[in-house]
Amino acid sequence: MDERLALVPVEWFVAFTPASRRWFNLLCRPGFKHCLAFRFDRARGTWIWAELHSTGMLIEPLHSYELDARVAAIGQAGGCFLRYRAPSAPRGRSPRLMYCVPFVAHLLGLPGSALSPYGLYRRLLATGARPAFESARV
């Protein structure tokens, strides 16, 4: 069975970045301006990078060396990462207001209503996520 369609837990990594050039990020907590998610697709042997920008959605397969470079760049910029075991594939309707936070929450099948990247970070920690790639913030 294709793991994309299976209702089985899937491990995701969620990145929180300190930089974004949108006006509303003035309202965000420092260090938590944007979020995105990625996971390994065992069936294809590649990483899947999922990110929503104001210009559109990016769903991109990456080789390990490409992912390593992106993770390193986010880490060097002061970003942090969480590892989250999503309970199942996304359920329900997609959010009406779509920006990075509801996009990632829906992708992970995460119930709740975080409004900011930091709110999503705290929600993920409360539901069992743990720091990844030696990054930790509270």
What tens digit of pLDDT does each residue of 26-69 get? 566 667 788 899 999 998 999 999 998 878 889 999 999 999 99
At residue 24, the pLDDT reads 59
pLDDT, tens only, 18-28:
876 665 555 66
**Residue 48, domain extent:** 10-131
Q: How far are the Cα atoms of 98, 101, 105, 125 from residue 93, in angstroms, in the given order?
A: 12, 15, 12, 24
Q: Is residue 50 part of a domain?
A: yes
Q: In this predicted structure, what is the pLDDT of residue 44?
A: 92
Distances (CA, A) of 106 to 38, 109, 128: 13, 5, 17
| Global pTM value | 0.79
Structure confidence at residue 78 (pLDDT): 87
Within a domain: 5: no
3-state secondary structure 2-64: CCCCCCCCEEEEEEEECCCCCHHHHHCCCCCCEEEEEEEECCCCEEEEEEEECCEEEEEEECH
Residue 112 in tokens = 């709740």
- Residue (of 5, 3, 8) closest to 40 by Cα position: 3
What's the number of domains the chain is made of? 1
Question: In this predicted model, what pLDDT tens digit does every residue of 78-99 receive, in sequence order?
Answer: 899 999 998 765 556 665 667 8
Q: Does the residue 22 lie in any domain?
A: yes
> Does residue 137 or residue 132 have the better pLDDT?
132
